[in-house]
Amino acid sequence: MTATHTRRRATLAALLPAHEADAILVTGGVNVRYLTGLASSNAAVLVRADATATLATDSRYIGAARRVCAGIEVIEESDVAGALLPRSGRTGVEADHMSVAGYFRLGGDLPRLSKVVESVRMVKDDDELDLIRTACELTDRAFAEVLPELRPGLTEKEVARALERRMVDLGADGLAFDSIVASGPNGAIPHHSPSDRPLERGDLVTMDFGALYRGYHADMTRTVAIGEPAGWQRELYDLVRAAQRAGTLAALPGAALHEVDAAARGLIGQAGYGEFFKHGLGHGVGLQIHEEPFLSARRPENPPEPERSSRKPERDHGHARLEDRVPVTVEPGVYLPGRGGVRIEDTLVVRDGGPELLTRTTKELLVL
Ligand code: ZN
Ligand code: ZN
């Protein structure tokens, strides 16, 4: 992966002049991992505009750092930010990843950069797309294997544990996030924690889960029916499915984020359920389960500007628009208080030739 990390640092370095910085002090743990390959709880990397870099970490990780970060200077120091700061000219810090106390320890007068590494991370390279693809395959396979076991009497917790066990048995390194299994009336709560409620005939059951694979995340939601669904349940399902399809078809390079959201939200609104779909349509997926870009109804504000910087980067890294090679979820839902809900979610990659679906489980209503 060394060549990959070198390329990522070069892409980042090329953005620095537009932010009027000679270097960036990267302290966000996920960002450090992205730029160097080192996963740790205490490391920072200084990337200069000439694309050279120095990494600092403490004694716990120094061995791994020397192994993983071939080709860049590595220093052992527990105050990782303090150790790197004097090693460059005008250095910007990551405002989103530094405490106020940490900022003032460094002098309190450094340019504060926002989401610069995140803007590079948003567009994935081939290595990353392969890992997200694998995470999604494991998620699909776990669902297919657990599906025949779903029956009335099984509790939400038991269903969640079955999905999670299966993903790990199939090769996942862990879970992408805390699984959601919401049955019957609990389906009205978008982020319901699995409870001891047993599945009952007549329930819709929403399952939102995903595998973690070598640091990369998958995210999928399916809603199934236990026994023949009532008319209102099938109608709700068909509506959410149509909205999910509309959102997916709108997820094209160049599309404004709020327009993708609107493609799905519009259908739900027209059907009279707008007030029951309160969350955003989707989010980026990568080294984090929720990352840039965020598909929501919010119209673009001015992208966050670094302090004291008037020039913008040449290329707008998509604070407001989708681009080729950006993985996102599309996950509309309708939640009816006291009755239940439906959410359908895929992880897909925005591509020039149209969306590449990564979670491939059927979206037909499964009646169990
Ligand atoms: Zn999800
Ligand atoms: Zn999601």
Q: Go through the domains of the chain in sequence order and give each one's CATH number.
A: 2-120 (3.40.350.10), 126-357 (3.90.230.10)
**pLDDT band with cut points at 50, 70 and 90 for residue 1:** low
DSSP, collapsed to helix, strand or coil, labels residue 101 as: helix
Q: Which two tokens stand for residue 109?
A: 């007068």
What is the number of other CB atoms lying within 10 angstroms of the CB of residue 194?
22
Q: Residue 281 CA: which ligand is closest?
A: 2
Local confidence band at 309 (pLDDT 50, 70, 90 cut-offs):
very low
Give residue 99 CA to ligand 1 midpoint distance, Å: 29
pLDDT at 303: 47
Instruction: Name the pTM for this structure.
Output: 0.92
From the list 4, 26, 30, the residue with the least C-alpha distance to 15 is 26
- Ligand approaching nearest to the C-alpha of 344: 1
Return the closest-CA partner of residue 173 out of 201, 219, 138, 125: 138
> What pLDDT, on the 0 to 100 scale, is given for residue 320?
81
Per-residue pLDDT reduced to its tens digit, 18-66: 999 999 999 999 999 999 999 999 999 999 999 999 999 999 999 999 9
Q: What SS3 state is found at 75?
A: strand
DSSP H helices, 110-155, are: 116-122, 126-146
Amino acid at 210: G
In this prediction, residue 254 carries a pLDDT of 97
Ligand 1 centroid, distance to 362 Cα (angstroms) = 16
* CA 230–ligand 1 middle distance (angstroms): 25
Q: What is the mean pLDDT of the chain?
A: 93
| Residue 298: pLDDT band with limits 50, 70, 90 | confident
Distance CA 46, CA 39 (A): 16
pLDDT of residue 306: 41
* Span from the CA of 176 to the centroid of ligand 1 (angstroms): 9
Mean pLDDT for 67-74 is 91
Ligand 1 centroid–CA 49 distance in Å is 37
Copy the structure tokens of residue 49.
Answer: 């505009």
Please tell me the number of the ligand nearest to residue 284's CA.
2
Amino acid at 338: G
Which residues, by Cβ under 5 Å, contact ligand 2, an ion?
219, 329
Cα separation, 261 vs 255, whole angstroms: 10
C-alpha 173 – ligand 1 centre gap (Å): 18
CA of 218 to the centre of ligand 1 (A): 8
Q: For the ranges 94-103, 307-316, 340-349, which has the lowest average pLDDT?
A: 307-316
Distances (CA, A) of 200 to 1, 73, 194, 225, 280: 49, 60, 15, 10, 30
Strands of the sheet containing 23-26, edge to edge, are: 73-76, 53-57, 43-48, 23-26, 91-94, 112-113
The tens digit of pLDDT for each residue in 129-163 reads: 999 999 999 999 999 999 999 999 999 999 999 99
